[in-house]
């Protein structure tokens, strides 16, 4: 008789899935705050307002680049639960800096510094550091959650299936977050009238909720998973010596680049088309794109017998086809539909990248998460090209090139040479 899933056996999996929901929710809240903060913090800035606003996302992704590998080493030393709790403590501090930035802007808004001809209040810099801490926390949490979910022996499930389910719950967080920002944080107030005092109570509540969640997590049972951590003080080999992991990191760098590039720049393309008389709703495009992630992940989480490689190849070919047609026709509805096929790429790439790594899995997860920095690189490159040529149309060659890298990984790059030699 096959073992069945019980509430007790699923508890650790459900806990990490809930925390992954929080990661998705707060990540999107951070991104959605860019526009309102231009008004609340940067109302006196003229020449560098957009640049300063985009630095918020850059600071967030910088947390991934600088702290992911460190978290992998921490995970090896102190285990999953302690690393998880420390990661959430960092999140509490990040939210506390958000709250502090709102209070500074509200009560000491006249204090700041000049950057060229622009006056930038200190509250902005405090929020910027808070964004870095939030990105650091998100990176740390994913370093813990990804390998744990992939390796956790939940009866009757496969690693990619568990990953897709967890990512689906994460997508629910990313879906509801925009409604939280517009409907709760700035309820009934137009964007051009946003003030810092509207941020104080929401940031205070979020800080309190995450602090309580952190305390509850510290009391929860989270058993370690044997064989997924390197406990030797001197590892026998470098983590970079694993071919399929090394290529997987580069692939996820490209994947996050195309994911964020479409999610952010599609709206800018729509706004550009609007000036040409083509009416396309940026908000609806974004809803369809990120909604596709939720649908795709929920559907794939129920597929027990589909291996990650054929799944990755199928969705990548479909994404390439849609993006190509969308680029040449400037039909952004097709671009939004790519979200459905992007939904499972993360799970597939991660599962293939850590295949057969055993005790090196935890350290590999830290290295893997460094690739998320692609979300800060490729969208900027795309924007620079748009400014240079005066159009967004053929800037989509950048994320399209990223899709071909993903396809190459599914065809060739995924191969675990050592595992193949063992056969």
Are residues 210 and 277 located together in one domain of the fold? no
Are residues 200 and 180 located together in one domain of the fold? yes
Which one of 14-28, 275-289, 355-369, 406-420 scores highest in mean pLDDT? 14-28
Contact 254, 374 (CB under 8 A): yes
In this prediction the pTM is 0.77
pLDDT digits (tens, 9 = 90+) for 22-77: 888 888 777 666 656 666 676 666 666 656 766 777 888 888 888 888 888 888 88
Are residues 221 and 250 located together in one domain of the fold? no
pLDDT category of residue 161 using cuts at 50, 70 and 90: confident
Higher-pLDDT residue of 3 and 218 is 218
Q: What is the mean pLDDT of residues 369-375?
A: 87
Are residues 33 and 156 located together in one domain of the fold? yes
Are residues 325 and 388 located together in one domain of the fold? yes
Q: Which residue range(s) make up the domain with 104?
A: 1-229
> What is the domain count for the chain?
2
> pLDDT at position 307, please?
84
Higher-pLDDT residue of 329 and 228 is 329
Q: 92: burial class by Cβ within 10 Å (0-12, 13-18, 19+)?
A: buried
Q: Which of 229, 245, 272 is the last residue of a domain?
A: 229
Q: What is the mean pLDDT of residues 164-175?
A: 84
Higher-pLDDT residue of 380 and 328 is 328
Are residues 138 and 285 located together in one domain of the fold? no
> pLDDT at position 342, please?
95
Higher-pLDDT residue of 236 and 350 is 350
Are residues 216 and 244 located together in one domain of the fold? no
Are residues 190 and 257 located together in one domain of the fold? no
> pLDDT at position 276, please?
82
Nearest CA to 141 out of 170, 161, 168 is that of 170
Nearest CA to 255 out of 176, 332, 167, 357 is that of 167
Mean pLDDT of all residues belonging to the chain: 82
Q: Which of 229, 251, 276 is the last residue of a domain?
A: 229
């Amino acid at each position: 008789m096959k073992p069945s899933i019980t509430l007790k056996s699923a508890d650790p999996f459900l806990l990490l899935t809930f925390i992954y929901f929080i990661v998705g929710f707060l990540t999107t809240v951070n991104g959605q705050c860019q526009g309102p903060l231009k008004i609340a913090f940067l109302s006196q800035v003229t020449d560098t307002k957009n640049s300063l606003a985009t630095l918020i996302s850059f600071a967030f992704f910088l947390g991934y680049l600088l702290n992911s590998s460190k978290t992998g080493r921490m995970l090896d030393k102190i285990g999953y639960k302690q690393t998880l709790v420390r990661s959430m403590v960092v999140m509490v501090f990040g939210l506390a800096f958000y709250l502090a930035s709102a209070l500074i802007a509200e009560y000491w808004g006249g204090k700041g510094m000049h950057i060229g001809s622009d006056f930038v209040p200190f509250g902005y810099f405090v929020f910027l550091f808070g964004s870095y801490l939030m990105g650091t926390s998100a990176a740390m949490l994913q370093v813990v959650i990804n390998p744990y979910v992939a390796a956790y022996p939940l009866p009757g499930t496969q690693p990619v299936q568990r990953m897709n389910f967890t990512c689906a719950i994460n997508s629910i967080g990313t879906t509801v977050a925009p409604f939280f920002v517009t409907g709760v944080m700035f309820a009934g107030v137009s964007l051009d009238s946003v003030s810092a005092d509207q941020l104080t109570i929401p940031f205070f509540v979020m800080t309190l909720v995450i602090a309580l969640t952190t305390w509850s997590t510290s009391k929860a049972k989270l058993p370690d998973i044997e064989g997924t951590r390197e406990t030797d003080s001197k590892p026998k080999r470098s983590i970079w010596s694993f071919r399929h992991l090394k290529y997987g990191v580069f692939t996820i760098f490209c994947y996050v680049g195309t994911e964020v590039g479409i999610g952010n720049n599609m709206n800018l393309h729509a706004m550009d088309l609007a000036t040409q008389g083509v009416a396309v709703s940026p908000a609806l495009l974004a809803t369809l794109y990120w909604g596709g992630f939720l649908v795709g992940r929920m559907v794939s989480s129920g597929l027990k017998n589909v291996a990650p490689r054929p799944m990755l190849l199928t969705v990548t070919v479909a994404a390439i086809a849609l993006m190509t047609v969308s680029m040449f026709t400037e039909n952004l509805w097709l671009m939004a539909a790519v979200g459905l096929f992007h939904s499972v790429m993360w799970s597939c790439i991660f599962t293939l990248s850590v295949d057969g790594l055993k005790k090196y899995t935890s350290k590999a997860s830290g290295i893997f998460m460094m690739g998320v920095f692609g979300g800060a690189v490729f969208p900027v490159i795309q924007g620079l090209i748009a400014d240079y040529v005066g159009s967004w149309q053929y800037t989509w060659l950048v994320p399209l090139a990223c899709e071909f890298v993903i396809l190459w990984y599914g065809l060739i790059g995924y191969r675990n040479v050592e595992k193949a030699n063992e056969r």
